[in-house]
Amino acid sequence: MSNKLRQEVLQTFKSLHQTRKTVFKNDNRALAEGRTKINQEFKKQKHVENEAAIQELLNYARAVEHELKTCVIQAQEVAPGKYQAEITKDTIKLDNVAFKEECCMEVGNKRTQQCGPRGCT
């Protein structure tokens, strides 16, 4: 493996651990499990010498890091039945569509939707 590729592997390894610390801050169990999983996956692929295969594994690791940064959120129960979510600047925020129970009618044991996919009009 070339020196440049070795540096890229180490940088990706460090970056994944930094992301783990950010995403799972204050959650000791998730931090420990994440650390173990990252270390296991890198050790499992330690024998790979083909540069194209290594590059593919690095792309996969970057995709995992992106998924962690943008899609994983923490939520803590602040009161019975009420949760506070930790949203970061990287978290993808999608438009919410309000669900209205009155839009659905029960016919027998089946529910039928009375309005379109965007909710009631």
Please tell me the predicted confidence (pLDDT) of residue 89. 85
Please tell me the predicted confidence (pLDDT) of residue 87. 84
pLDDT, tens digit, 9 for 90 and up, residues 86-110: 888 888 887 777 766 665 555 555 5
Please tell me the predicted confidence (pLDDT) of residue 85. 86
- Per-residue pLDDT, averaged over 77-83, amounts to 91
Picking from 4-18, 48-62, 86-100, which range would have the lowest pLDDT averaged per residue?
86-100
Please tell me the predicted confidence (pLDDT) of residue 2. 86
Give the total residue count for the chain.
Answer: 121
Please tell me the predicted confidence (pLDDT) of residue 112. 53
